[in-house]
């Protein structure tokens, strides 16, 4: 008991020490995490603007705030350069800081003793640098150790005093009574069932044990009396066991119709009746099992034949699916080629549409030019009319001049010649104007006809452009339909492939089922052989009558119960 108490106390003490140590470690980690978070907030602007002195100041201030709970601090820039360092190059803290800079998330090592926080400009922004710090648990553990030593010393003193008092009380209250009980048990062992313990009046557990010992004395005394009666019944039991042994031997030899005809005593008679009934039930059961074994064998043979035929059909189906998959694959390739050609044709139609658009623009410009030419012809016609009027006026003036020259006589003869020449010139100008006017009118009509033709050509080109646009839309829809058809055929091909795979699996399962049916047939044959080892000869009439009589006895005993 003392050893158990010591072990329990030691276990609780170790658990308490571990708990205190864990509390100390968690407290240091929590303090260092808070300081590191504050340092990360303070380092955002210095790291962003690369203020090395401020970075070093914040790192040293954080290390000083941690006191003895932190030993090392390290600050890296966004390029991995060391901006503040109280750790050696290549240390574990340097490696952890480099990992945090690369991952952009806080990193921890050595169960949280080493931590590295990336300094981020925003939650999703790039890291400006890394602040890493190494914790030290020794100071807190020293404080806990000093407190524990005082508590352990006081516990040892109290435990020693309590153990001494406990041992003294146990000796007086338990040791001596247990010695007397041991003596009483020794008397019982020697066959003395009449001497009492003398402590059955005690109200504690010792008194209860004494009462149990006295009761045991009485039971053992009564046992001596009943032992002789049991010896007398033993001979009867031997006869029953011998008869039952012979019957069971016959049953073990496979003779299931054997019955026990000789009656037992009243106490063991139900045993004989139950054996006869069990033998009869086993006889009927084995007979039914033999029939069912033959039925299973026939069904297993039919199942094996059907499984074999199903296996052949499944293999044929698998071959057909494989051929279908190959044909579908070839069709898929053809549809893909058609889709590619349709896409190429769509591109050609688009280029034709662009060319038609350009020609439409040119035709529109030609129509506008013809309109301008027609306007210019109208203006030239007006000019020729004006020239004709001028020639007419000039002719009148020349005629008047001729009249005046005739009146003047010889002195106006020179002027008359000039007037005659002016009239001839005016006449020729009028005729030339008339010719020019005729040419202008003919040219205007031709220009008008050309404008109408160009207008008709523009209208026809617009219709061609509309048809090309419709063809382009149709080709685009055809390309989309060909692509969708290719995708649909691809999905069908995938489905056929999956169906082929499932069919192959079904073929494997059918082969397994055929094998299982053959094994079942073999097991049914083996079961028939095992059942054949039993003898199920039909009961004799007198045995059948005895079984009915036995059933009547069982029914009567059940009613009596």
Q: What is the DSSP string of 125-174?
A: SPEEEEEEEEE--HHHHHHHHHHHHHHHHHHHHHHHHHHHHHHHHHIIII
DSSP 87: S
pLDDT in tens, 364-374: 777 677 777 77
**Could you give the CA distance from residue 426 to residue 394 in angstroms, rounded to a whole number?**
6
Residue 198 binned pLDDT confidence (cut-offs 50, 70, 90)? low
Instruction: Name the 3-class secondary structure at 81.
Output: coil
**Total residues belonging to the chain:** 561
User: What's the chain's average pLDDT?
Assistant: 75
Q: What is the pLDDT of residue 4?
A: 65
C-alpha distances in Å from residue 289, one per residue of 5, 121, 274, 281: 65, 84, 22, 12
**Could you give the CA distance from residue 490 to residue 496 in angstroms, rounded to a whole number?**
10
Instruction: Give me the percent of the chain exceeding a pLDDT of 70.
Output: 83
Question: Mean of the pLDDT values across residues 287-313?
Answer: 76
In 3D space, the residue among 527, 525, 519 whose CA is nearest the CA of residue 289 turns out to be: 527
Q: What is the pLDDT of residue 554?
A: 36
**Could you give the CA distance from residue 333 to residue 179 in angstroms, rounded to a whole number?**
102
C-alpha angle with apex 401: 397 to 405, nearest 5 degrees? 175
Q: H helices then E strands: how many in the chain?
A: 9, 5
The phi-psi region of residue 211 (left if phi > 0; otherwise alpha if psi is between -120 and 50; otherwise beta) is alpha
- Least reliable range by pLDDT among 53-62, 312-321, 535-544: 535-544
Contact call for residues 206 and 178 (beta carbons, < 8 A) = yes
Q: What is the pLDDT of residue 87?
A: 57
pLDDT in tens, 305-333: 777 777 777 778 777 767 777 777 787 77
| Domains, in order of start, for the chain | 2-136 (3.30.450.20), 308-532 (1.10.287.950)
C-alpha angle with apex 226: 225 to 231, nearest 5 degrees? 115
DSSP 540: P
- pTM assigned to the model: 0.30
**Could you give the CA distance from residue 90 to residue 81 in angstroms, rounded to a whole number?**
13
**Could you give the CA distance from residue 130 to residue 112 in angstroms, rounded to a whole number?**
16
Strand partners, 130: 76, 118
Q: What is the DSSP string of 182-197?
A: HHHHHHHHTT--S---
pLDDT in tens, 140-165: 777 777 777 777 778 788 878 887 78
């Amino acid at each position: 008991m003392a050893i158990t108490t010591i072990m329990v106390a030691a276990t609780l003490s170790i658990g308490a020490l571990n708990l205190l140590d864990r509390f100390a470690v968690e407290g240091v980690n929590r303090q260092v995490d808070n300081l590191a978070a504050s340092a990360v907030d303070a380092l955002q602007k210095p790291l962003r603007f690369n203020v090395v002195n401020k970075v070093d100041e914040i790192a040293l201030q954080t290390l000083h705030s941690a006191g003895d709970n932190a030993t090392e601090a390290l600050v890296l820039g966004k390029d991995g350069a060391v901006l503040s360092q109280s750790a050696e190059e290549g240390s574990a803290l340097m490696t952890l800081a480099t990992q945090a800079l690369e991952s952009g998330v806080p990193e921890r090592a050595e169960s949280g003793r080493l931590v590295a926080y990336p300094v981020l400009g925003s939650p999703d922004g790039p890291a400006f640098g890394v602040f890493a710090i190494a914790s030290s648990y020794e100071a807190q553990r020293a404080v806990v150790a000093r407190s524990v030593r005082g508590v352990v010393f006081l516990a040892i003193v109290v435990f020693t005093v309590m153990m001494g008092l406990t041992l003294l009380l146990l000796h007086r209250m338990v040791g001596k009574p247990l010695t007397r009980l041991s003596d009483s048990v020794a008397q019982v062992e020697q066959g003395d069932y009449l001497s009492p313990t003398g402590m059955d009046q005690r109200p504690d557990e010792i008194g209860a044990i004494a009462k149990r010992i006295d009761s045991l004395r009485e039971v053992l005394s009564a046992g001596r009396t009943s032992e002789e009666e049991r010896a007398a019944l033993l001979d009867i039991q031997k006869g029953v066991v011998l008869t039952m042994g012979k019957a069971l031997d016959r049953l073990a030899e496979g003779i299931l119709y054997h019955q026990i005809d000789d009656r037992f005593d009243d106490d063991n008679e139900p045993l004989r009746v139950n054996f006869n009934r069990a033998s009869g039930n086993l006889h009927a059961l084995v007979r039914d099992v033999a029939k069912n074994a033959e039925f299973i064998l026939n069904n297993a043979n039919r199942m094996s034949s059907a499984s074999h035929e199903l296996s052949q059909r499944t293999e044929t189906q698998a071959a057909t699916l494989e051929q279908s998959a190959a044909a579908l694959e070839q069709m898929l390739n053809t549809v893909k080629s058609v889709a590619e050609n349709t896409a190429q044709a769509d591109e050609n139609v688009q280029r034709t549409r662009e060319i038609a658009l350009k020609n439409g623009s040119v035709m529109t410009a030609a129509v506008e030019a013809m309109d301008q030419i027609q306007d210019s012809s109208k203006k030239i016609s007006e000019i020729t009319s004006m020239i004709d009027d001028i020639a007419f006026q000039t002719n009148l003036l020349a005629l008047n001049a001729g009249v005046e020259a005739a009146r003047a006589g010889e002195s106006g003869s020179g002027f008359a010649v000039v007037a005659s020449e002016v009239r001839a010139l005016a006449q020729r100008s009028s005729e030339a104007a008339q010719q020019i006017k005729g040419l202008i009118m003919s040219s205007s009509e031709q220009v008008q006809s050309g404008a109408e033709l160009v207008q008709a050509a523009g209208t026809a080109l617009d219709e061609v452009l509309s048809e090309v646009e419709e063809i382009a839309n149709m080709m685009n829809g055809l390309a989309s339909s060909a692509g969708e058809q290719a995708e649909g055929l691809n999905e069908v091909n995938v489905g056929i492939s999956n169906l082929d795979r499932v069919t192959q699996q079904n073929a494997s399962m059918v082969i397994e089922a055929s094998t299982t049916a053959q094994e079942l047939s073999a097991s049914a044959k083996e079961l028939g052989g095992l059942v054949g080892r039993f003898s199920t000869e039909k009961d004799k009439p007198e045995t059948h009558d005895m079984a009915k009589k036995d059933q009547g006895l069982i029914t009567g005993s059940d009613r009596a119960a």
